[in-house]
Structure 1
Amino acid sequence: EVIDVASGFTQGWEFLASDNILYFKPKSVRMGGSGQEGRTMEPTAGTWDTNLMVRTNRRMYDFDLKLLSSAGNSGKALQNQRVAYRVEFQYPEDEAASRAKASEKAKTQVKLDEKVAPRNWAYSMQVGDASDGIAPTMAYDDGRFTYLKFPNNRDFPSVFLVAADKSESLVNTHVEKDVLVIQRVAREMVLRLGNAVVGVYNDKYDIDGVPPTDGTTVPGVKRVIVGGKQE
């Protein structure tokens, strides 16, 4: 990121910094003083040369700015190896670090996208009156989350955890493709949508389940805190 810009002829050049990009161009200079009629000097090749120092949050740069004239009367830009309309710096070590980070992120995403093997398929349900529309066609858990599959083109119900005293509490869920993922494993849950209700029972409930390792249940993936945010 560009932090500061300095030049020996700031009156004759216009600078504009935007993030890690610096734009600049020559500009006319208004001349004149007390008792003298003011006049304007236009940018002229050979007289507008100056130095340029750029400080970023990582490095310092020094440049020579030279204003070149157009070639002859044709108006074509001067074909000269010294002319640069855009200068871009590339650093092998930064690019290597960026590629390594992108590769590691891609590997992590692949692991996150991999389906965790089911541990328990022993589920049963009790369907209330006129509640077939929210009855799952498949249910299993991986020791951490519970997965319910429903017929196509159906609205997903809300999911409630049933406690030992039969009180109910709403459970967080998310959707993976056409599967409703319940972020809990429980002995009993209730699905509700309008007046429809379905009880879902874990017939082989394991109270211990699968404990998270390194903050996640995905093997090979570790959750760390970066800048106050979990990654």
Structure 2
Amino acid sequence: MRAILIAAVLASLSPVAAQAVQAPRPGATDPRIRTVMYDPDQVVSLRGFFGYQMMLEFAPGERIENVSIGDALAWQVTPNRKANLLFIKPVEAAAPTNMTVVTDQRRYSFEMVARKATGPRQADMAYVVRFLYPLETVAVGVEPPPPPPPERRNTAYTYTGSRAALPSLVFDDGRFTYFQWAEGVSTPALFLLSADGSESIVNYSVRDGFQVVEQLAPRFQLRNGKDVTTVINGAWREPSAGVDAPRPNDAKTARAAAGGRP
């Protein structure tokens, strides 16, 4: 009897599990042009293929603000200049991962896997995934005004490594770092490069054609497949703790803080 009850419970849960991920529906004219109804409480499943890119199309007037991906090395993610389209492409073999896209109107959750393609007309391949929206959530397509340019700019940036991943413009305003690539150039993955050579993912948003990293750093690492570029902030200075910072509690720490002076 207990086994029957367990089986009944599992059977009742299976429809819920099946609905946890939403797959885009193939179009009638071309199955590679797919649509999916927006639901903030569902994860959208995306299947990428090596050698092929996929375009995600959001509502008219909707602008991408943040993109966060679980495995930024294995996937290339590039917003267009208007920030209403997102191009994604797998570049390295890796385990399934996830991606979150935050726009000025909505939040989207994705589950992503990559496969080898047998050809451009593979049955489960998508070239375009277009979101459809219930009437009550459709926003008026009004372009927001671009943010004012920062008054203070540090443009003392240099680079080493590949030119293939090189941005057309880099500067900071004393708080954030701005990266811009020429139209049509594949945008690389952005990482913070530490003094020990380790890399860490950075948070960024898309604003008026710029990828805006929400911090300053001495070095950033850009990766696009095998192309690696290091961008160096020539004006970097270690932040001062300030006059109100805690004082050292022992003589050794005090000498180190004073530059070794007794």
Q: TM-score range by the shorter chain?
A: 0.3 to 0.5
| Structure 2 length-normalised TM | 0.34
Give the TM-score normalised by the residue count of structure 1: 0.38
- Determine which structure has more spread, i.e. the larger CA radius of gyration: 1
